[in-house]
Amino acid sequence: MITLTGKILGHFFLFFCKLQPFSFLFLSSDLQMQYLQQEIQKLKAANAIMRQQIRRQKIKPSFMTRCRFIFFALKFKIPQRKIRRYLPLAPSTLYSCIKKAKENIFNLIPKSSKPHSSPYKTRPEIVALIKIMKGNNSAWGYLRIAIHMWSLHIFISPSTVRRILLKPERYPDKETKPPKEEKPFLIITASKPNSMWSLDLTTLHLFGIFPVYILGVIDHYSRKVFSLSTTFHPASNWVIDECKALFEKHGTPNRIITDNGSQFTSNAFKACLQGQGIKHIRTSVRHPQTNGKIERFFQSLKYEFMCFFFLRNKRQVDKLLADYLLYYNQYRLHQAINGQTPDNLYYNKPIQKPPKHAKRIRAPIEELHFGNSHLKAYQYKEAA
């Protein structure tokens, strides 16, 4: 009996709740006004909460929402200040939208600021050439490929090369560490060819066991390498003879930088330089950065070329070094000297950077091979 009575009361309560919106019709006028004011206050509170959420989440109205508001504002002549209460737009944005809608409602469609086809868009044949260069020269970076394209009178930025070779991916930001305190050091610069040379010795190993010593001589200004001489016994007399031959061929420099090896600290070597009027600068102990030009060249020589060969005899080493010397001086474009080759800068014949509108391949391009095709360069074919 109690359960049946509870069910009847529950149904009566639900029926009364459904009739509640119409129950105010049977009330007096004062009670009706009071009821309507309460409902208005509820709607205002809900509207205020909704606007606060929109501002916090920074929700932008969709295109259809914006069109509806602007359409009703124009049709019923609603003031702009009332529209802004419900449409989170800046006054200038709302004014421009109304102005566009008065001309044509379809002007509210957002348009891209970028053109559909850029006049400087990279051509497919240039994209294919960039991929060929990267495929044949895996050690080349974006700047080096761009510099090679400049030498062919084709302008392309390193960032464009990067976008061609890589897919657009977002990488997580790495934690930045505070920079280390660098000790101040003296910067040695050269302002013209034969102003300063660097000399150093490095080794390669026959069969991975027997050392072959290489004397490298480089010009600081142009990065031109004058000699890559080899020997099994790097005595000071041999170094002096090689230097004298270079002095006769290329002239004498003003200064020479060497490390503290026994070949360069001997009295005979000092007397040779003093007789030519050359100032001798020696690096600090355990500071090879002072002689960094020749050290960096030896790194390129070994890791870019010589590491691909199994060395069997001195004749093979001399042949490979001659190929790399020709490639390095005449065809290898150097990033540190603005995309020039060492020979171009040494003999004052710089390569001009092409203008931005140079986007065409003017003639057939040939691929030059050096050192059993491990080194490659690109240039236009000469007319027969």
Same domain, 240 and 309: yes
Residue 140 lies in a domain: yes
Residue 115 lies in a domain: no
Same domain, 283 and 328: yes
Same domain, 247 and 329: yes
> For the segment 250-288, what is each residue's pLDDT rounded down to a tens digit?
999 999 999 999 999 999 999 999 999 999 999 988 888
Residue 241 lies in a domain: yes
Is residue 313 classed as helix, strand or coil in its secondary structure?
A: coil
What pLDDT, on the 0 to 100 scale, is given for residue 23? 52
User: Which residues make beta-bridge pairs with 203?
Assistant: 213
Mean pLDDT of the chain: 81
Q: How confident is the model at residue 45 (pLDDT cuts 50, 70, 90)?
A: confident
Same domain, 156 and 291: no
Question: Which tokens is 128 given?
Answer: 């294919």
Mean pLDDT, range 294-306, rounded to an integer? 93
Same domain, 129 and 227: no
Residue 319 lies in a domain: yes
Question: Which tokens is 142 given?
Answer: 């974006």
Same domain, 209 and 345: yes
With beta carbons less than 8 A apart as the criterion, state whether 151 and 362 touch: no
Q: Dihedral of CA 358/364/368/374: which sign?
A: positive
pTM confidence score: 0.60
Same domain, 339 and 200: yes
C-alpha 226, offset from chain centre? 33
Same domain, 84 and 210: no
Instruction: Report DSSP letters for 75-102, one per residue.
Output: HHT--HHHHHHHS---HHHHHHHHHHHH
Q: Which domain holds residue 287?
A: 196-349
Mean pLDDT, range 200-228, rounded to an integer? 94
Same domain, 149 and 220: no
Same domain, 209 and 299: yes
Residue 363 lies in a domain: no
Same domain, 35 and 151: no
Beta strand 279-282 with 375-380 is unpaired
Same domain, 150 and 202: no
CATH at 344: 3.30.420.10
**Structural domains counted in the chain:** 3
> For the segment 62-75, what is each residue's pLDDT rounded down to a tens digit?
666 667 667 777 77
What pLDDT, on the 0 to 100 scale, is given for residue 56? 62
Residue 383 has pLDDT above 70, yes or no: no
Residue 160 lies in a domain: yes
With beta carbons less than 8 A apart as the criterion, state whether 280 and 258 touch: yes
What pLDDT, on the 0 to 100 scale, is given for residue 122? 84
Question: Nearest to residue 376, comparing CAs of 159, 174, 202, 138?
Answer: 138
